[in-house]
């Protein structure tokens, strides 16, 4: 895409005209800034001289950059600044003079050590939204300590409820804490920008992995508050709903997400056993929860006669939520993935599209992830001028 086309697409986005200085690295911050960039914000990614470490988190690699970096850094202009040096910090401040948002995930105390305290930033740039994504925040018993997704998953109890029944605590297979921290950072920035329309003032947005990890514990915390019982691992099964689990079929696995009595009745009809829904031990969700092991045996006996895709198609079209358990390549090739435009291609770059669909101002995909320091002269020359 040409520069002119890039600018035209950016101007149509819902965040057109928003300028974001992104000092963040790894995942939570970059995921946040990619959300903003996809919707038209001008995001300037500022890397230290050693670069964002995820450039090396591979294989696989493309043009020297790991897929991990490529996945969360499109639509950004990339520059390099050594913020340990005073003149380079002043160059950052020059950029901030025309910026709306500063996003960073330095360990608390790092910017402060360079004289860039929250108060100093607010005083010099009163309209600036300053968002920090950190492990635990700057104060409290764990204030200032470093945090990484998997370690936080362990600490906040996510691992304790994830894994096979009777098995060991298991990390969720995607960095869910980092990702939801990035989402919450984007939400927090947008909330602060909306409030700025009233007050004319910026503010500090404090996002921590610890807080975001705890926020994911539904329904386990709600169950604990009401029952006093400590939740445990249940494999793929839901602690409150049955049948809500994966089940073996003749040629694979299907996940049944049966949330009410009507769905359970329709499922039993389709499986050719309408009487199953009227048995006293399965009549309500509460009954099925108490008798979930017996229900599993009954269902797997019936499901063993069905092919996964055939069964999933029939069930979901009859109003029973379910899905075949697919691998990543199956998801990429699925026709609905294409229909929902969830894949992005820019030259040789392939990525995951924005799930946020706006009718008048949709996301656009204008730039491949930047090469290291690719836009130094373009951005810094303009700021000096």
> What residues does 245 pair with on adjacent strands?
256
What Å distances lie between residue 60 and 63, 64, 321, 323, CA to CA? 10, 9, 36, 30
- Give me 122's structure tokens: 């607010």
Q: Is 178 a catalytic residue?
A: yes
For the chain, report the end-to-end CA distance as a whole number of angstroms.
26
User: Using a CB cutoff of 8 Å and minimum separation of 24, what contacts does 190-195 make?
Assistant: 192/129, 192/131, 193/18, 193/100, 193/101, 193/129
Give the SS3 label for residue 20.
Answer: strand
DSSP string, 235-303: TTS-SS-SSEEEEE-SSSEEEEE--SHHHHHHHHHHTT-GGGGGSGGGSSHHHHHHTHHHHHHHHHHHH
**8 A C-beta contact, residue 80 and residue 113:** no
Cβ-based neighbours of 196, under 8 Å, separated by 6 or more: 127, 129, 202, 203
Residue 160 and residue 224 in contact, taking contact as beta carbons nearer than 8 Å? no
Which is the catalytic residue, given 178, 251, 287, 298? 178
Q: For residue 306, give the nearest of 263, 248, 255 by alpha carbon.
A: 248
Residue 80: strand pairing partners: 47
Question: Distance between CA atoms of 29 and 33, rounded to whole angstroms?
Answer: 6
Considering only CA atoms, which of 369, 372, 374 is closest in space to residue 348?
369
Q: Closest Cα partner for 73 from 51, 94, 88, 93?
A: 51
Q: Scanning the structure block, which residue is given the tokens 């992830």?
A: 369
Instruction: Count CA within 13 A, CB hemisphere, residue 74.
Output: 26
Closest C-alpha to 305, from 244, 251, 243 = 251
Catalytic residues: 178
């Amino acid at each position: 895409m040409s520069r002119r086309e890039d600018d035209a697409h950016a101007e149509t986005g819902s965040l057109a005209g928003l300028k974001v200085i992104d000092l963040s690295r790894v995942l939570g911050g970059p995921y946040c800034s990619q959300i903003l960039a996809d919707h038209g914000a001008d995001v300037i990614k500022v890397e230290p001289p050693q670069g964002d470490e995820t450039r090396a988190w591979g294989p696989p690699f493309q043009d020297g950059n790991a897929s991990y970096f490529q996945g969360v850094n499109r639509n950004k202009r990339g520059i390099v600044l050594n913020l340990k040096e005073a003149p380079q910090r002043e160059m950052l401040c020059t950029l901030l003079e025309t910026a709306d948002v500063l996003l960073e995930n330095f360990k608390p105390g790092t910017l402060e050590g360079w004289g860039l305290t929250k108060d100093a930033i607010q005083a010099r740039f009163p309209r600036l939204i300053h968002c920090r994504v950190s492990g635990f925040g700057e104060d409290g018993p764990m204030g200032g300590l470093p945090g990484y997704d998997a370690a936080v998953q362990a600490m906040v109890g996510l691992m304790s409820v994830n894994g096979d029944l009777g098995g060991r605590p298991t990390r969720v297979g995607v960095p869910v804490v980092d990702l939801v921290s990035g989402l919450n950072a984007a939400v927090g920035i947008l909330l602060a920008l909306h409030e700025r329309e009233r007050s004319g003032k910026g503010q500090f947005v404090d996002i921590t992995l610890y807080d975001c990890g705890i926020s994911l514990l539904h329904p386990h915390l709600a169950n604990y508050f009401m029952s006093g019982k400590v939740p445990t691992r249940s494999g793929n099964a839901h602690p409150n709903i049955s049948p809500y689990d994966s089940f073996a079929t003749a040629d694979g696995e299907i996940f049944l997400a049966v949330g009410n009595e009507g769905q359970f009745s329709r499922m039993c009809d389709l499986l050719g056993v309408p009487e199953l829904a009227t048995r006293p031990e399965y009549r309500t969700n509460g009954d099925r929860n108490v008798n979930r092991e017996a229900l599993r045996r009954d269902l797997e006996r019936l499901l063993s006669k069905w092919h996964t895709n055939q069964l999933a198609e029939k069930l979901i079209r009859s109003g029973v939520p379910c899905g075949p358990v697919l691998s990543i390549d199956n998801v990429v090739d699925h026709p609905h993935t294409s229909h929902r435009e969830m894949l992005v291609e820019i030259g040789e770059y392939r990525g995951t599209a924005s799930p946020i669909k706006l009718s008048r101002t949709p996301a656009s995909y204008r730039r491949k992830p930047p090469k290291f320091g690719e836009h130094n002269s373009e951005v810094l020359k303009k700021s000096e001028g």
